[in-house]
Structure 1
Amino acid sequence: MAESGVFAGPAMRRLRKREGLTQAAMATRLSISPSYLNLIERNQRPLSARVMVQVVDAFDFDLATLREDASIGGIDGLVRRLNDERFSDLGIDRDEAVELLASAPQIAAAFARLYDTAGAAVVGEEDPLDLTRIEIERWRNHFAELDDRAEILADELRLSNSDLGAALAERLRERHQLTIRVLPRDVMPDAVRRLDLHARQLQLSEMLSPASRNFQIAMQIAQLEQQQPVFDIVQGSRLAAEAARKLFERHLFSYFAAALLLPYGRFLRACEATGYDLPVLQRRFGASFEQLAHRLTTLQRVGQRGLPFFMARVDRAGQFSKRLAGASGTLLLEGETSCPLWIVHQAFERSGTICVQAVEVESRSSGIGHWLTIARAVDGSGTTGDARFAIILGIEAKLASNLAQARSLSLRTEDAQPIGLGCARCFRGDCRQRSLPPKGALLRFDRAMRGVTPFDFSS
């Protein structure tokens, strides 16, 4: 927080009122002028590192409360909620959302809490997937303690200097007296991993790829050795529903497993040295495309940040089974289904090929966004079975010029493919691929003319 100061006017104003102080009295205790404090409270000056220290010393203050917006995912989290189709007629833009969060963060947090609760009530019960996603977004999918622990263990196991699978198997054998046994598909048809404590075995399906086999071993190590830090994070979450807590717990164990296989510092250095060249990174770390995509959404270590990617997993019907916005702030993952013009759908027909597309997406609350997106089809659960999905990675086009996968692609806005958040949330009037009218739009009918799209509407 102290890198460039924090605008925390409302928090400072509430602290002063809680202490029953005038601006002059509080300024004296902080060794600053009353006029400077007045500017801080009006969000016209940031709270500097020196003043932060004074606040902590003088009032025993928790600095975490200075960034109240983090609890709702920051401005991107607020914009995501305001982008709901139920507010489409209000024309709320991003600037208004920024103003609300800056001037009245508690009101913004109250709105976010009501919105999240109402969203669960619409379907009659809390959706554990949505609740878990909101919690992950609150952290921007970066869990520093788990990254640190994984990096220490990776160094201890010397994973960069030895056969990855052998080193992980040796850890299980020495630390937990467990051996690895690979079983035929007909013996273990409905599982990819099973812990048999009676036989002291970690049993793995023969259908797993080498990358997925290593991940499953790392996942088991995480569950055996990282229970306390994961438990602490889950306990500190805002998840009351048991299913949501279990999903969040599973995400955290998976996070640690990925951080063990792709240790933060070494992975980020490789990303920067190769221009985030995905095939090279896959080979260098023995990772699958999906594992790599997950990991790229997590690189938010203070003082050592990577590029802010988002990732999603989509099926052939355009349904999302995974959505991780990371620190990207994207709204591309907010539709119920994905746009048929998005390259993620073409990836199914080009097995094994990395597909690249620059897209332009328009949202009423956030304006027009310009993104570089990268897609590839993958097998479900890392096997060679019948399940197929497409993994999509994305980053703002303005940050993508040096990426390996962008070298042969135009990143000019006028060359981007216009897409939407699915037909029901897209108000582009000239799309020939449209299957449904946008919700909330006023349909228009003209008996004398039939347009090139099936629906004519006004917003």
Structure 2
Amino acid sequence: MTQRKLLLGARLKRLRRDRGLNQSAMAEQLGISPSYLNHLERNQRPVTAGILLRLAESFDVDVKTFASEGGEVAGADQLAEIFADGILSDLGVSRAELIELSDNAPTVAEGIARLYTALRELHRQPAGEEGADPRVLITPETWVRDYIQAQRNHFPELEEGAETLGQGLSDPLSVAEPLRRRLKEAFGVDAKVVPPEMLDDASQHYDAQRRTLLLSGLLRPENRTFGLAYQLALLEFGSLIDRMVGVARPPDAGSRSLLHMSFANYAAGAIMMPYGKFLRAAEEHRYAIDRLCGQFGANVEQVAHRFTTLGRSGARGVPFFMLRVDPAGNISKRYAGESFPFSHFGGTCPRWNLHAAFQTPGQTIRQIIETPDGQRFFTISRTIERPIRPDLRDDSLLAIGLGCDLKHAGRIAYSDGLDLLNTPATPVGPACAICPRMQCAYRATPPAGRMLAVHENRKTISPYPFIPA
């Protein structure tokens, strides 16, 4: 790392902006002059090993990730998907150009991504709906998801407060009971389980005037516990969450409210599963989900989501990515502790066994997959039940998929018995429109920007054969 010049100006500038600092404030924390920081941000000076160490100490930065070559690879992947669209594919923008843009002008890259997202949302608007404010075309869900992912789904301030609180609420017999007592003793809040008819379409409701938290009787036990932790997070960390939302600068009221709720959800999970205790248990039990569910009184989805947040500097867990889908293939959650091998704007590759989990409810499906660039991932998929079941029909299942770089698979119990080096990997791709794999019988759409090679006297394995670039 010290043998090459590290020109990391764009990443320094982005880090400073994300922390809400001006150059003088950041320079003071790093122990350098504002003019020197200005030179670093303009790539007129290389970042030294000493500066990297100060970044790690002052801003909880992972030095290896921050200084790695290639910059923000996810940004380049996202740009590749955008420039594969039919309206841009004829430009023939190279991968090298996209990497250079995401690394040296991340704000410009983010602007391109926002415009493309708005365009996609515009196409989804009902016909005849004109005159909409273009600022609302980037939905709150999209903005919040992208913001959380930009932080690698890890928020040190919330972790610290939740860990201190969660450790003090430890009870070997019940997770929910100490949460209930804390709400009552610290804030005078009574928690009650009530018939669902009292809540209409809500699963829980906090009556601030009566200091009462109402939880639906249809909630599963682990989700009642999470409901208690969520309300406690709002009361314990209200000012901190408000400050974090302010730093994030959401573009509208809807995004602000959703981000506030997302931070409270994050804190609730961290209260139930305090960082240090959870990481030690995860490593000891080799990320066996059911074992961790039993120890922390959580459900499968809560534990899986917690896996993706273990990014504390000096105490990192396996960097998992996670998706949640319904039987129709709609993605309702998408988190990554590190890289994410699938499409940012579309769905998943049909060759990944995530959707096959619906055929074997309750069982864990494991699979080694390989992306077009040769990177291999170890993945597991399984069904989960919805937090609340409004009727008796048997349609309450969702599926989650977890994965990590294959080099981490030996740390995971589900890899036992697999020859990780010699087991054939299933070739997968990001999205059909940008997938370069030619011989794929699962291809659903032709590749963008490629000339089709269809011949009337010859049928190929792929329904859309194309001429390679």
TM category (shorter chain) comes to 0.7 to 0.9
Q: 1:183 aligns with which of 194, 207, 211?
A: 194
Aligned residue in 2 for 1:123: 121
Instruction: From 138, 143, 146, give the equivalent of 2:150.
Output: 138
State how far apart, in whole Å, the 2-side matches of 1:109 and 1:425 are: 23
Whole-angstrom CA distance in 2 between matches of 1:243 and 1:74? 31
Partner of 2:323: 312
| Contact 2:71 2:99 (C-alpha < 8 Å) held by counterparts | no
| Cα distance change, pair 437–114 in 1 and its aligned pair in 2 (3 A) | closer
Identify the match of residue 435 of structure 2 among 421, 426, 435. 426
Residues 1:329 and 2:330 are matched in the alignment: no
Residue number in structure 2 paired with 1:110? 108
- For residues 126 and 166 of structure 1, what CA distance do their matches in structure 2 show? 41
Q: Contact conserved, 1:314 with 1:321, CA < 8 A, in 2?
A: yes
Counterpart position of 1:48: 49
Counterpart secondary structure, 1:368:
coil
Which residue pairs with 1:341 in the alignment?
Answer: 351
Partner of 1:155: 167
Cα deviation, 1:113-138, whole Å, max 9, x if unaligned, reads 33323432443312222211221122
Distance 1:370 1:62, change over 3 A: closer
Contact in 1 for aligned 2:114/2:138 (Cα 8 Å) = no
Contact 2:60-2:312 within 8 A present in 1 as well: no
- Judge conservation of contact 1:323–1:333 (CA < 8 Å) in 2: no
Q: 1:453 aligns to what?
A: 462
Specify which of 385, 388, 401 is matched with residue 397 of structure 2: 388
2:6 counterpart residue number: 7
* Distance in 2, Cα, partners of 1:296 & 1:4: 34
Task: State the match for 1:405 in structure 2.
Answer: 414
- In structure 2, the partner of 1:375 is 381
Deviations 1:309-350 (A, max 9, x none): 111111122221111122x21232525122222111111121
Q: Secondary structure at the match of 2:369?
A: strand
CA apart distance, 1:84? 1.4
* Per-residue Cα deviation, 1:229-262 (whole angstroms, up to 9, x for no partner): 1111111114212222222111100000000000
Match of 1:358 among 359, 368, 374: 368
Unaligned segments of structure 2, at least 5 residues: 14-22, 24-31, 34-38, 123-136
Question: What is the Cα deviation at residue 12 of structure 1?
Answer: 12
Identify the range of structure 1 (381-390 vs 225-234) with the bigger mean alpha-carbon deviation.
381-390
- Give 4+ residue runs of structure 1 displaced > 6 Å after superposition: 2-6, 11-14, 50-54, 61-64, 66-70
Q: Is the 1:360–1:413 Cα contact (8 Å) retained in structure 2? A: no
TM-score for both structures, normalised by structure 1: 0.80
1:197–1:5: structure 2 CA closer, same or farther, 3 Å change rule?
Answer: farther
Matched, 1:174 2:185: yes
Q: How does 1:59-98 map to 2 (within 5 A)?
A: 75-87=72-84, 90=92, 92-93=94-95
Report the 3-state secondary structure (helix = DSSP H, G, I; strand = E; otherwise coil) of the residue aligned with 1:440. coil
1:255 to 259, 266, 275: 266
For 1:116, the aligned partner's letter is: R
Q: In 1, distance between residues paired with 2:291 and 2:306?
A: 15
CA RMSD in angstroms, aligned pairs only: 3.7
Give the paired residue count. 418
Secondary structure (helix, strand or coil) at the match of 2:250 reads: coil
Relative to 1, partners in 2 of residues 1:407 and 1:186: Cα closer, same or farther, differing over 3 Å? same
| Distance in 1, Cα, partners of 2:451 & 2:80 | 18
CA distance in 2, matches of 1:354, 1:120: 37
